[in-house]
Amino acid sequence: MREQLTIYDTTLRDGTQAENFNLSVADKLRITLKLDELAIDFVEGGWPGANPASTLYFEEIRNYELKHTVVVAFGSTRNFRNLPENDPNLNALIAAKTRAITIFGKSWDIHVHDALRIELADNLQIIEDSLAYLRPHVEFLFYDAEHFFDGYKANPAYALSTLDRAIVGGARCLILCDTNGGTLPGEIATIYTEVQKHLAAAVNKIVPVELGIHAHNDTECAVANTLVAVSLGATHVQGTINGIGERCGNANLTSIMPGLALKMKRYFAAAENLHKLTEASRFVSELGNVTHNKYQPYVGQAAFAHKGGIHVSAVKRNPLTYEHIVPERVGNVRRILISDQAGRSSILHKAKKFGIDLASHDPLVSSILKKLKELETQGFQYEGADASFELLMRKALGTRKEYFRLLSFRVISQKETAGNGSEGKIMEEATIRLEVGGEVVHVAALGNGPVNALDNALRKALNDFYPQLTTMELQDYKVRVLASEHGTGAMVRVLIESRDETSTWGTVGVSHDIIDASWQALVDSITYKLIQDERSHQSDRQ
Domains 360-398+466-542 and 404-465 share a fold: yes
Assign 3-class secondary structure to 430-485: EEEEEEECCEEEEEEEEECCHHHHHHHHHHHHHCCCCHHHHHCEEEEEEEEECCHH
Tell me how far apart the terminal alpha carbons of the chain are, to the nearest angstrom: 47
Q: Is residue 479's pLDDT more than 50?
A: yes
Compute the C-alpha angle 290/294/297, nearest 5°: 115
Buried b (16+ CB within 10 A) or exposed e, 277-314: bbbbbbbbbbbbbbebbeebbbbbbebbbbeeeebbee
- pLDDT mean across residues, the chain: 90
- Per-residue DSSP letters for 238-275? EEBGGG--STT-B-BHHHHHHIIIIIS--B-GGGGGGG
> What is the C-alpha separation between 174 and 214, in angstroms, rounded?
10
Q: Write down the H helix ranges in 335-385.
A: 344-353, 363-378
The CA–CA distances, whole Å, from 518 to 379, 415, 497, 525 equal 14, 22, 12, 10
The pLDDT value recorded for residue 122 is: 96
Does residue 79 carry a pLDDT above 90? Answer: yes
Q: Does domain 404-465 have CATH number 3.30.160?
A: yes
DSSP lists the bridge partners of residue 69 as: none
Higher pLDDT, 281 or 354: 281
Q: What is the pLDDT of residue 363?
A: 86
pLDDT beyond 80 at 416: no
Question: How many Å apart are CA 393 and CA 395, to the nearest integer?
Answer: 5
Mean pLDDT within 90-105: 97
Provide the CATH number for the domain formed by 360-398+466-542 in this structure: 3.30.160.340
Q: Are 213 and 238 in contact (CB under 8 A)?
A: yes
Q: If pLDDT is split at 50, 70 and 90, which confidence band does 359 have?
A: confident
CA distances from 356 to 214, 278, 350, 352 (A): 42, 22, 8, 6
pLDDT of residue 540: 62
Over range 381-404, report the average pLDDT.
Answer: 87
Q: What pLDDT, on the 0 to 100 scale, is given for residue 347?
A: 76
Q: Which has more confidence, 268 or 502? A: 268
Q: Where does the pLDDT of residue 338 fall: very low under 50, low under 70, confident under 90, or very high at 90 and above?
A: very low
Contacts of 81 (CB under 8 A, 6+ apart): none
Q: How far from 209 is each of 156, 178, 191, 196, 412, CA to CA, in Å? A: 19, 19, 17, 10, 65
What is the band of 371 on the pLDDT scale with cuts at 50, 70, 90?
Answer: confident
pLDDT of residue 415: 79
Helix axes 344-353, 386-397, angle to 10 degrees: 100
Rounded alpha-carbon distances, angstroms, from residue 181 to 32, 250, 251, 259, 424: 26, 8, 9, 20, 50
Q: Give 514 or 482, the one with higher predicted confidence.
A: 514
Q: In this structure, are residues 177 and 148 in contact, taking their beta carbons and an 8 Å threshold?
A: yes
pLDDT tens, residue by residue, 105-150: 999 999 999 999 999 999 999 999 999 999 999 999 999 999 999 9
Question: 49-73 as b/e, with b when 16 or more CB fall inside 10 Å?
Answer: beeeebbbbbeebeeeeeeebbbbb
Record: fold of 6-287: TIM Barrel (3.20.20)
Q: Give the Cβ contact number of residue 538 at 10 Å.
A: 9
DSSP category for residue 216: B
What region, left, alpha or beta, does residue 497 occupy, with left being phi > 0 and alpha being psi -120 to 50 degrees? Answer: beta
Q: What pLDDT band is residue 341 in, cutting at 50, 70 and 90?
A: very low
Lowest mean pLDDT among 108-112, 204-208, 409-413, 526-530: 204-208
* pLDDT tens, residue by residue, 189-233: 999 999 999 998 864 455 789 999 999 999 999 999 999 999 999
C-alpha dihedral (261, 32, 223, 265), degrees to nearest 10: -10
**SS3 call for 400:** coil
The predicted pLDDT at position 65 comes to: 94
400 CB-near residues (< 8 Å, 6+ apart) = 391, 394, 527, 531
Q: What is the 3-state secondary structure (H, E, C) of 2-26?
A: CCECEEEECCCCCHHHCCCCCCCHH
- CA 457-460-463 angle, to 5 degrees, is 145
Query: How far is Cα 113 from Cα 107, in angstroms, rounded to an integer?
Result: 11
Q: The whole model's pTM is what? A: 0.73
Give the mean model confidence (pLDDT) for residues 493-497: 93
Name the most confidently modeled range: 229-243, 398-412, 491-505: 229-243
CA atoms within 13 A on the CB side of 59: 8
pLDDT at 464: 92
pLDDT band, residue 507 (cuts 50/70/90) = very high
Q: For residue range 228-282, what is the model confidence (pLDDT) as tens digits?
A: 999 999 999 999 999 999 999 999 999 999 999 999 999 999 999 999 999 999 9
Q: Which residues contact 92 (CB under 8 A, 6 or more apart)?
A: 48, 49, 55, 73, 75
Distance from chain centroid for Cα 366: 31
Residue 538 host element (H or E):
helix 514-541
The proportion of the chain whose per-residue pLDDT surpasses 70, expressed as a percent, equals 91
Cβ within 8 Å of residue 208, ≥6 positions away = none
Confidence of residue 36 (pLDDT cuts 50, 70, 90): very high
Flag the least confident range among 64-78, 296-310, 480-494: 480-494
The 3-state DSSP class for residue 29 equals helix
Residues 25/60, Cβ–Cβ less than 8 Å: yes
pLDDT at residue 345, as a whole number: 63
Q: Are 345 and 333 in contact (CB under 8 A)?
A: yes
CA 480, 482, 484, 490: dihedral to nearest 10 degrees? Answer: -100
176 and 214 in contact (C-beta within 8 Å)?
A: yes
Rounded mean pLDDT of 422-443?
89
- Whether 41 shows a pLDDT value over 80: the answer reads yes
pLDDT exceeds cutoff 50 at 342: no
Tell me the average pLDDT across 44-65.
Answer: 93
Mean pLDDT, rounded, for 401-427? 82
Q: Tens digit of pLDDT for each residue in 374-390?
A: 888 888 888 778 899 89
Q: How far is CA 345 from CA 284, 331, 335, 365, in A?
A: 22, 10, 11, 9
Distances (CA, A) of 538 to 404, 531, 535: 21, 11, 5
Asked whether 302 and 295 are in contact (CB, 8 A), the reply is: yes
Q: Where are the domains of the chain?
A: 6-287, 360-398+466-542, 404-465
Inter-residue contact 480 to 492 (CB < 8 Å): yes
